[in-house]
Structure 1
Amino acid sequence: MKRFIARHEPEETEKRYAEIVAERSVTIHHDEDGTGSLYAENLPSYVLAGIDRRLDHAAKSLTEDDRTLAQRRADVFVDALDHIDPDNEPARGTNLAIGVMVPASTLAGVDDQPAISADRDWILPANVLRVLATSGDPFWYRLFVDERDDVLAVSYHGYSPPEHLKNAIRYRDGTCRYPGCLRTVAKCDLDHREPWPHGQTCADNLWALCRHHHKLKTFRHAEPVPHDDGWAWHVGETILTE
């Protein structure tokens, strides 16, 4: 619904975006038990997506650590704030790519269709996208060119797909392909629908599955079956469709 409104009311979407971002703030609330909460409100979604990826990357790099991932993320966040030098701009650290899908018509200035995140969860108004595109050094990646150069139409030797095919599938799927699962592609595995080496390393045989549903498939508690023009899942006596 959010994407539908953004596509059909691009000017209103840009106006609402500007009004909301203008009210951005960070507040701290102290509780009575010696703890509290920090709230960052009305920040741009692309900024929050970048923070989320950086926290995950930093937290997961801490190996042999007894803390949970959530605890490590929280501690990494606090540690980053503790190291802010008031006299100098802090380094941004690892530059993890946060990509969006952009209609060619928007880039050409034909219309103002918004960009959409890979997980289909947030949008970026056209006017903001154009500012980012001209003020930074973005990497443009065209997934579909023509039948000869379509990265989704090529098979590759070996188990692991090349990085450009991984990116293409992540953008194609958005979330875990198990019906009803909304875990984002950033937190999913790329699974061979028909196990390798019998199944090819190609877009038709690769999809995003979260670790839980990947394990269900691996141990045959849930099996994908052809259904109409797509796939359904056979779970016990039940058939689940998207």
Structure 2
Amino acid sequence: MTEPGVPAPDPLMAARQFQILARRAEAAQLTAMVEHQDALEAEERLAELPLHARREARKVPVRQLALELRMSERTVAVLLGCARFARRELPQTWRAFGEGAVDQQRLRLVADAAMSLESAEHVEALDTAAEKKAPESTAAQLRRWLNRFVARLGPEEFARSCEQAQRHRHVRLQHLENGVSLLQALLPTVQAAAIEKRLRAAARGLDGPQPRDPEAAETPAPSPDLMSTGSGPACSDHTDSAPQPHDPRTLDQREADLLAAWLLDGRVGGTPVEAALAIMVPEVTLTGESNEPAVSADGAWAIPAQAVRELAFAPGAQHRWYEAVTRRPSSAEDDVLEIRYQGRFAPQRLRDAVAFRDRTCRAEGCSVPAEHCDLDHRIPWPKGPTTGTNLQALCRRHHRMKSHGYLDPPDAVADR
């Protein structure tokens, strides 16, 4: 209880302070683990053990820490490896970790990304940028940013790492309890993204029109995908269709059923489904003057330059091209929206441009891809015009919060 006359602490501020304290304790614990390993390894060197004995001796601190902290030895080994690398190669990010600005999960994300780089100069550049980016990002946003940053930082390294990773592509099946099994596939990202788009488009295609949400205005329903037929972020007044009464399956259930049908007999029923990918690629990459990678519309993944050129010039491929203005002419990374229209409803090109610009829902901390969001007027129409500067992508949840006055206006467009 607070003393009379003393204002009660702000619970929100208190929660933030406890988070910082927890992160500092996490950093102190990991530092102590590394120091314990260092101390035992120093004794090992003094003992001048033979090489084979030294290898076994190095497992001792891992074993001791695992037993003391009730962790698996594998988890301890991974944490120690990450900490030692970050302490040595990522001093700025390691300092932010110790100060409580970055938690262990974000430290590991940055360290994993840095380990994929071949150049010490690139590692240093990543460390400098990550120190500023990691504290202000959720883990999902940081992962997306790291994917783009690493790909752009060293295009040749990125292409080689992609080629090496794709050699490990595989399909695995694990039978679980309760009559279900887990199917996993490690595939090239372009193929996986195309499968995801096609599944979503086909599953939503099973829907029929339903009564619109009473909170939304009367406008046509949105299409599911950015680059498929009539696609793009839904207008702010759009609502998603719900399953017909005779098909009570959720979207996830329908996607699972469709995938099983495709794999078992190659048929999905009904008409063929077309779904395309939306990527941002510098013109100089297409012409071969640069090897800067392309970036997906939501900024979640990147594609090596050579793979992009193969996609662009594949015989029979059908592409829809947009020419966009960026702050950095050679980059596929920055804002692309310079389009303005009049009228209440955004044309298709403007919807696509907003999706490319915003990448994800504009609400802070939200990672829903912009192509699956509503297209919201910052200043409600007709007072606010239908222009690029007055439109933003908001997922349904945050759009409704904004409509009822429970969401602060999102910040201006920034690197996400």
- Structure 2 stretches of 5 or more lacking a match? 1-145, 208-243, 327-335
Map 1:46-65; keep pairs closer than 5 Å. Answer: 46-63=190-207, 64=244, 65=247
Q: Report the equivalent of 1:9.
A: 154
Look up the equivalent residue of 1:72 and give its one-letter code.
R
Q: Please, what is the CA RMSD of the aligned residues?
A: 2.2
Which of residues 131, 155, 166 in structure 2 aligns to 1:21? 166
Corresponding residue of 1:216: 401
1:195 maps onto 2:195 in alignment? no
Deviation of 1:144 after TM superposition, in Å, equals 3.0
The C-alpha deviation readout for 1:207-230, integer Å capped at 9, x for no partner, is: 1000000000111112427x7xx3
TM-aligned CA deviation for residue 29 of structure 1 = 1.4
Residue 33 of structure 1, CA deviation: 3.3
- For the Cα contact (< 8 Å) 2:162–2:304, is it kept in 1? yes
Give the match's secondary structure for 2:409.
Answer: strand
Indicate the residue corresponding to 1:71 in structure 2: 253
Equivalent residues of 1:194, 1:205 under 8 A apart: yes
**Deviation of 1:77 (Å):** 1.0
- The alpha-carbon deviation at position 10 of structure 1 amounts to 0.9
- Deviation of residue 83 (structure 1)? 2.2
- Aligned sequence identity (%): 38
Q: For residue 186 of structure 1, report the CA deviation from its aligned partner.
A: 2.1
1:1-242 maps to which residues of 2 (within 5 A)?
Answer: 1-41=146-186, 43-63=187-207, 64=244, 65-84=247-266, 93-136=272-315, 137=317, 138-144=319-325, 152-157=338-343, 159-224=344-409, 230=412
Contact 2:297 2:355 in 1 (8 A): yes
Return the structure number with greater strand share.
1
Cα deviation, residue 175, structure 1:
0.4
Question: Relative to total residues, which structure has the larger helix share, 1 or 2?
Answer: 2
SS in 1 for 2:312: helix
- CA offset digits 1:123-147 (Å, max 9, x no partner): 00001111111114233221239xx
**Aligned mates of 1:83, 1:160 — CA distance in 2:** 42
Q: How many residues align?
A: 217
Q: Which has the larger radius of gyration?
A: 2
CA contact under 8 A between 2:337 and 2:357: conserved in structure 1?
A: no
AA in 2 matched with 1:4: F
Q: CA deviation at 1:56?
A: 1.2
The 1-side partners of 2:191 and 2:177 are apart by 31
- Partners of 1:10 and 1:143 in 2: CA distance: 22
Contact preservation (8 Å) 2:170, 2:185:
yes
Are the equivalent residues in 2 in contact too, given 1:152–1:165 (CA < 8 A)?
Answer: no
Distance 1:34 1:73, change over 3 A: same
Q: Structure 2: which amino acid aligns with 1:16?
A: S
TM-score, normalised to structure 2's length? 0.49
